[in-house]
């Protein structure tokens, strides 16, 4: 049987495009390129002659025999005071907070950028690898290596756009030093798998900063939303997390720069939410991810999607810390507001993502296909509305991905084609609200009588 990542992962449409395979290939035969869905995949430029299989062994979606629990155990299992929950993986401490200075340009509370800058200024690392705009319409964002806090700040904000790490990982292999790297859960899992097999990566990547992730989006997602915002032709630049004092943090906006220099703005509630939450333009691999909280990261940053914080348009972070060294940097924090918060609240803040990567995943695995083993057991949910939700969202995901991938790039037509499924999903939600109304009311009364039990 072929052991390559192309045969085992890419040909099964399970590649997330992280690029670790291309960076580590001893023969250097893999190159990361756009596929027709606007996602990155490795392409074999010249035939592989050794079939060493290293490319598959560092792939987060291949059958390596490792998962986020086994990797997390090796990394953090022996840390004094460490705890573990099935939803979060290992954690040492959890915080809520922000950096007032970084909030205006950052996605949420600016803690990720603050931390990366602090790691540099305190001499914990020599270089930071994070994602920043490129100015190239063919590749709007890319992983880059920065050596100063000023440069790191150019990467502030979330890139809901494909990026790949082959170039920066090759740089780490060639250039000694200590690096901090940001990444989505699957990207950091790939780094950890690579570190198990490569001493230079083990020694040089000394801090990993994870981001909670509901799903990655293809390049076509940006094109679709830009079209909804009124952009005609190419997008020259995009900022995904604009903040407006008139809106809560949860209703942020995307602002696009069109090729003619004109700016176009669209709020989350004006069409982004519908495409985001219904999984339009989401890669197939995301259907089989069971890591919400970037369990292989030394620290994970996320939005504080809790009512008491999400009303504040300036943005607030929650953080889960696994590394004692990172906790020290955070606790010394100058210019940041950081308070402990129970891990239960952190999990609650991501309830939607936890449902998708647990209950929905269980049904997708039950329905679907032969994928490498997950930590979630395949199961058919009893609730027919939940089953309907999973099936409808999958149909929308496939339709959006296939149509745009086939060159049918008309945003209005796509929305019309998806319309009936959107309607069915909305009707299902209404029915669910009516059915669960008595249960929710009872819970509310119990909470009021029993007091706050968020401990």
Ligand X SMILES: Cc1cc2nc3c(=O)[nH]c(=O)nc-3n(C[C@H](O)[C@H](O)[C@H](O)COP(=O)(O)OP(=O)(O)OC[C@H]3O[C@@H](n4cnc5c(N)ncnc54)[C@H](O)[C@@H]3O)c2cc1C
> Using CB under 6 A as the criterion, which residues of the chain lie in contact with ligand X when the complex forms?
102, 106-113, 116, 130-132, 155-160, 163, 182-184, 211-214, 216, 301-303, 305, 317, 350, 353
φ, ψ (nearest 5 deg) of residue 148: -130, 155
Cα-Cα end-to-end distance for the chain: 52
Token pair listed for 177: 């030093």
> Shortest distance, CB of residue 240 to ligand X, whole angstroms?
8
Question: 419: which residues sit within 8 A by CB, 6+ positions away?
Answer: none
> Shortest distance, CB of residue 78 to ligand X, whole angstroms?
28
> Shortest distance, CB of residue 289 to ligand X, whole angstroms?
11
Q: Which is nearer to ligand X, 44 or 117 (CB)?
A: 117
Give dist(CA 407, CA 289) in Å, integer.
28
Q: Which is nearer to ligand X, 14 or 130 (CB)?
A: 130
> Shortest distance, CB of residue 34 to ligand X, whole angstroms?
16
3-class DSSP assignment, residue 128: strand
Nearest Cα neighbor of 286 from 349, 357, 352, 219 is: 357
Q: Which is nearer to ligand X, 163 or 321 (CB)?
A: 163
Q: Which is nearer to ligand X, 4 or 108 (CB)?
A: 108
Q: Which is nearer to ligand X, 40 or 404 (CB)?
A: 40
Q: Which is nearer to ligand X, 29 or 93 (CB)?
A: 93
Residues pairing with 41 in the sheet: 33
> Shortest distance, CB of residue 50 to ligand X, whole angstroms?
31
Q: Which is nearer to ligand X, 24 or 354 (CB)?
A: 354
Question: 74: which residues sit within 8 A by CB, 6+ positions away?
Answer: none
Nearest Cα neighbor of 6 from 58, 44, 32 is: 44
φ, ψ (nearest 5 deg) of residue 409: -105, 60
Q: Which is nearer to ligand X, 93 or 211 (CB)?
A: 211
> What does the buried/exposed string (b/e) look like for 346-365 if buried means 16 or more CB atoms within 10 Å of the residue's CB?
bbebbeebbebbebbbbbbb
**Number of residues assigned to the chain:** 455
Q: Which is nearer to ligand X, 351 or 377 (CB)?
A: 351
Q: Which is nearer to ligand X, 48 or 288 (CB)?
A: 288
> Shortest distance, CB of residue 349 to ligand X, whole angstroms?
7
Token pair listed for 402: 């296939």
> Shortest distance, CB of residue 424 to ligand X, whole angstroms?
24
Q: Which is nearer to ligand X, 116 or 414 (CB)?
A: 116
Give dist(CA 219, CA 274) in Å, integer.
17
> Shortest distance, CB of residue 161 to ligand X, whole angstroms?
7
The kind and range of the H/E element at 386 are helix 384-405
Give dist(CA 213, CA 194) in Å, integer.
21
> Shortest distance, CB of residue 94 to ligand X, whole angstroms?
13
What burial class does residue 301 get, using C-beta atoms within 10 Å of its C-beta: 0-12 exposed, 13-18 middle, 19+ buried?
Answer: buried
Sign of the CA dihedral 319, 322, 326, 328? positive
> Shortest distance, CB of residue 63 to ligand X, whole angstroms?
25
Give dist(CA 289, CA 361) in Å, integer.
8
Q: Which residue matches tokens 């490498």?
A: 372
Q: Which residue matches tokens 């955070």?
A: 330
3-class DSSP assignment, residue 216: coil
Nearest Cα neighbor of 79 from 64, 92, 70 is: 92
> Shortest distance, CB of residue 146 to ligand X, whole angstroms?
9
Nearest Cα neighbor of 272 from 300, 235, 242 is: 242
């Amino acid at each position: 049987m072929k052991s390559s990542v192309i045969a085992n992962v890419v040909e099964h449409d399970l590649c997330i495009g992280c690029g670790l395979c291309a960076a580590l290939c001893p023969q250097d035969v893999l190159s990361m390129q756009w596929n027709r869905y606007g996602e990155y995949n490795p392409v074999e430029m010249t035939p592989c002659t050794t079939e060493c299989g290293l490319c598959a062994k560092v792939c987060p979606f291949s059958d390596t025999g490792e998962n986020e629990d086994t990797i997390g155990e090796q990394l953090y299992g022996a840390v004094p005071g460490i705890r573990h929950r099935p939803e979060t993986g290992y954690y040492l401490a959890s915080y809520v907070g922000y950096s007032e200075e970084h909030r205006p340009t950052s996605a949420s509370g600016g803690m990720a950028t603050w931390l990366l800058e602090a790691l540099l200024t305190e001499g914990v690392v020599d270089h930071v690898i994070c994602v920043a705009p490129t100015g190239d319409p063919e590749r709007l964002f890319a992983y880059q290596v920065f050596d100063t806090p000023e440069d790191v700040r150019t990467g502030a904000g979330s890139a809901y756009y494909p990026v790949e790490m082959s170039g920066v990982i090759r740089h780490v292999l060639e250039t000694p030093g200590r690096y901090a790297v940001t990444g989505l859960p699957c990207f950091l899992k790939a780094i950890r798998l690579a570190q198990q097999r490569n001493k230079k990566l083990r020694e040089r990547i000394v801090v990993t900063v994870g981001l909670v992730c509901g799903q990655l989006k293809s390049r076509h997602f940006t094109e679709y939303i830009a079209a909804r915002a009124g952009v005609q032709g190419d997008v020259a630049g995009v900022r995904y997390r604009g903040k407006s004092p008139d809106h809560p943090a949860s209703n942020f906006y995307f602002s696009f720069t069109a090729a003619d220099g004109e700016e176009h703005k669209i709020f989350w509630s004006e069409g982004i939410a519908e495409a985001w939450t219904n999984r339009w333009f989401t890669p197939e691999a995301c259907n089989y991810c069971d890591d919400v909280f970037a369990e292989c990261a030394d620290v994970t940053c996320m939005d504080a999607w809790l009512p008491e914080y999400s009303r504040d348009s300036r943005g607030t972070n929650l953080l889960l810390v696994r590394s004692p060294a990172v906790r020290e940097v955070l606790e010394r924090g100058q210019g940041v507001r950081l308070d402990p918060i129970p891990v239960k609240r952190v999990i609650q803040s991501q309830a939607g993502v936890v449902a998708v990567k647990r209950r929905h995943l269980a049904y997708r695995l039950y329905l679907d296909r032969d994928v490498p083993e997950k930590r979630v057991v395949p199961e058919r949910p009893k609730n027919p509305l939940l089953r309907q939700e999973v099936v409808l969202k999958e149909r929308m995901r496939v339709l959006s991905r296939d149509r745009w991938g086939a060159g049918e790039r008309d945003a209005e037509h796509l929305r019309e084609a998806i319309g009936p499924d959107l309607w069915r999903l909305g009707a299902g939600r209404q029915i669910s609200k009516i059915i669960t109304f008595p249960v929710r009311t009872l819970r509310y009364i119990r909470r009021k009588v029993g007091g706050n039990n968020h401990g």
